[in-house]
Structure 1
Amino acid sequence: MTEKIPNTRELVVAITEGNNLEAVALARRLLDHGLDLETVVEEGLTKALESLSDKCGNDQFSLLEILLAGRAMMDVMEQVVSKHVCFSTLAMGKEQPVFVIGTIKGDMHDLGKNIVSMMLKVAGYRVIDLGKDVEPAKFIETAAAEQARYIGISSLITTTIPYVKEVKHLAVQEGMSDVKVLAGGAALRQAEPEQLNVDFVAQNVFHLLGYLKEEDEAKR
């Protein structure tokens, strides 16, 4: 009997339902059947995130549901996605560039930020994850203490944009204008860098990794 070829919609359902074993198995099968990694992440993990965000906005979720979905998503990242990232195309120098990341003040979402953190670690960065609801000044304090090359700001809520704008201003004020401030997330990716007072706005994690690769190669 011919094995049924899975599709990304099945992966979305497995993640949102918190079925981590099935989600991991489906992700592996999708890659084994020739689907590229970016499509698995964008059409599987990212779509699952969007589905969860919609439920959060409509109060159609329970905390347990979110926790189980988060576990399923991170299992897929750790057990499948991280095994298929091509290190040769990413930043793998002698020194690990430091990347400070967090969800900005006023936003408690962190599933998307966690995916980005995992991909950055796989790509060879030393990631300092500040968590969620992070004060703008905390990004700067940590970047200074850790001698970070990058600061990454995540948000799914448009009301946080004034806080996003503060980060680069504080960096310049502290003499850290060489630290690149990057932004991403549903609330931010439609904006231009100038509107957010940042150096780069990422449409997704692969867009971010492409930018970082160019930046790191330029510094060598």
Structure 2
Amino acid sequence: MTGATIHPLTETMNSLVEAIIVGDCAQSINHARNLFDSGISAEEIVVNGIEVAMGQLDEKCTMEQFNLLEIMLTGRAAMEVIKYLFPSGQIVTARKGTIVLAVLEGDVHDIGKNILKMILTASGYRVVDCGKNCPIEKLLDVISEEKPLAVGLSGLIFPVIPMVKQVRELMHERGIYAPKIMAGGAALRQSSTDNLNVDFLAGTAFDSIGYLEQLSGGKVNE
């Protein structure tokens, strides 16, 4: 009995995942282009290609097995594919509200945040990026000034979880504007909204888009 035939596009998607993981930018873009030209949407390529690759890398990123070079190479390849799928000429004018993004202090890995930033921007949101290794006080200052629709917190390593838990409490203590809080990333996805004290826990970057559309009711700012 022979094995089941693998669809050519499935093979190409798997090849994209492999190319991203090894950090081969040229091959990653080539596979993404072939998929896109074959009618696969940018969203499908991100979810089934980039995010699968990132998920496989996340599994290796335990506290005992951390390979910063591997993360950097994978992140570079992933971002090149994102730039191909969402070229600057196609990014629409921000019209759906402001989102503040941050990777909190202690975590210097911002691949996931950067992917979400590009997808949010391409979807019409104005993004204020607080960067990686961001102190909570800096995040609170930005929230107070920007009064965003939501805050997105990304975390790849577990030690950042206690800081995520504090954000809502500290907003209330300071008496500042308190937006909805979204969370995502390898470490945070293994927790829960209640444990993290957040409103939404995203499995993929596009989950966050869906949540934001619900918050805004699909309305566009005039």
2:156 alignment partner AA: L
Change (3 A) 1:68 1:157: closer
Compute the displacement of 1:62 (Å). Answer: 5.7
Gap runs ≥5 in structure 2: 1-7
What is the 5 A alignment of 1:38-117? 38-57=43-62, 59=65, 61=67, 63=69, 65-81=70-86, 93=95, 96-117=96-117
Quick one: percent identity of the two aligned structures?
Answer: 37
Give per-residue Cα distances to partners, 1:168-196, cap 9 Å, x unaligned. 11122233354111111122224332221
Q: Which runs of 4+ in 1 moved over 6 A?
A: none
1:35 aligns with 2:40: yes
Change (3 A) 1:92 1:102: closer
Conservation of the 8 A alpha-carbon contact between 2:91 and 2:122: no
Give SS of 1:134's match. coil
Q: Which residue of 2 aligns with 1:183?
A: 183
User: Of 7, 18, 22, which aligns to 2:12?
Assistant: 7
Give SS of 1:189's match. helix
Give SS of 2:217's match. helix
Gap runs ≥5 in structure 1: none
* C-alpha distance in structure 2 between counterparts of 1:66 and 1:46, whole Å: 13
Conservation of the 8 A alpha-carbon contact between 2:143 and 2:177: no
1:26 alignment partner AA: H
Give per-residue Cα distances to partners, 1:39-65, cap 9 Å, x unaligned. 3212211122133334443647462x4
Conservation of the 8 A alpha-carbon contact between 2:147 and 2:177: no
Give per-residue Cα distances to partners, 1:73-107, cap 9 Å, x unaligned. 11110112568x997xxx964xx511111112222
Change (3 A) 1:218 1:41: closer
* C-alpha distance in structure 1 between counterparts of 2:166 and 2:108, whole Å: 18
1:29 alignment partner AA: N
Compute the displacement of 1:11 (Å). Answer: 0.4
Conservation of the 8 A alpha-carbon contact between 2:14 and 2:49: yes
Conservation of the 8 A alpha-carbon contact between 1:15 and 1:23: yes
Change (3 A) 1:146 1:53: same
Give per-residue Cα distances to partners, 1:143-165, cap 9 Å, x unaligned. 11223222111112223211101
Conservation of the 8 A alpha-carbon contact between 2:103 and 2:153: yes
1:155 aligns with 2:155: yes
Conservation of the 8 A alpha-carbon contact between 2:147 and 2:179: no
2:196 alignment partner AA: L
* C-alpha distance in structure 2 between counterparts of 1:213 and 1:60, whole Å: 35
1:179 alignment partner AA: P
* C-alpha distance in structure 1 between counterparts of 2:186 and 2:23, whole Å: 22
Change (3 A) 1:148 1:86: closer
* C-alpha distance in structure 1 between counterparts of 2:175 and 2:164, whole Å: 18
Give per-residue Cα distances to partners, 1:14-46, cap 9 Å, x unaligned. 112222122112112113323344332122111
Give SS of 1:73's match. helix
Change (3 A) 1:175 1:212: same
TM-score using structure 1 length: 0.82
* C-alpha distance in structure 2 between counterparts of 1:218 and 1:74, whole Å: 27
Report which stretch shifted further, 24-33 or 171-180: 171-180
Q: Which residue of 1 aligns with 2:29?
A: 24
Measured on the aligned residues, the alpha-carbon RMSD in Å equals 2.7
